[in-house]
Structure formats: C-alpha cells, structure tokens
C-alpha cells in the first residue's frame, strides 16, 4: 500500500498540514485511499459539529432570555385583550361547555 506522503496527490504544507488533491471519483490509486478519504471527511464533519455545538452553548442563555421575554409579552397581550371579550359572551361559553 502506498503511503499518502509518497503519493503525487498529497502535498505537505510548511506547517505540517497535508493537502490532498485526490478525488475518490476520478483519481484514486488504491482501495485504501477511499477509506482514508472517508476518515478525513468524517473528521471534518466532527470538527464542524463541535464548533456548531460550542456556538449553540454560547447563545443558549440569550435564547432562554428571548423565550422568557416573548412569553411575558404574549401574556401581556392576552391580558390587555381581555376587555374586548364581553362578560355575557363568557357566561354563554361557560354554559355551553
């Protein structure tokens, strides 16, 4: 099995990172390359998921405050609209139930 560092589709950056030019649909040299490519993609997905999770943890307190504010505002709106309902209509609704 050829190692990635010896492959023509792998380039090493000065900081030690690898840049892969291989494409599993076009220019894979060995079957193991596909497995490596899948691992690289899974690692990228995991890094993205972790960063999204950290971002969500940061905004979670703000979301809670917004939800509480909206609940309070909606409660105030409902309370302010109570005068529109006539007492007679309320009594008729209660009798029907």
pLDDT at 17: 83
DSSP state of 13: -
CA–CA separation, 85 vs 33, rounded Å?
71
Q: Domain limits of the chain?
A: 4-96
For the cut 80, the answer to whether the pLDDT of residue 95 exceeds it is: no
40-87: per-residue pLDDT in tens? 899 999 999 999 999 999 999 999 999 999 999 998 888 877 777 666
Q: 5: Cβ–Cβ under 8 A, 6 or more apart, which residues?
A: 12, 18
DSSP state of 30: S
Q: Which residue has the tokens 């609940």?
A: 71
CA–CA separation, 79 vs 47, rounded Å?
47
Q: Which two tokens stand for residue 68?
A: 């509480």
- The radius of gyration computed from the CA coordinates of the chain, to the nearest angstrom, equals 30
- Is pTM, for the whole model, over 0.85? no
17, 48, 39, 28 alpha-carbon torsion, rounded to 10° = -70
């Amino acid at each position: 099995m050829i190692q990635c560092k010896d492959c023509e589709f792998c380039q090493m950056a000065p900081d030690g990172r690898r840049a892969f030019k291989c494409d599993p649909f076009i220019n894979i040299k060995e079957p193991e390359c596909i497995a490596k490519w899948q691992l690289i993609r899974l690692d990228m997905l995991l890094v993205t998921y972790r960063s999204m999770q950290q971002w969500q943890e940061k905004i979670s307190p703000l979301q809670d405050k917004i939800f509480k504010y909206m609940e309070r505002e909606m409660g105030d709106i409902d309370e302010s609209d109570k005068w529109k309902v006539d007492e007679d209509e309320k009594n008729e609704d209660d009798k029907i139930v």
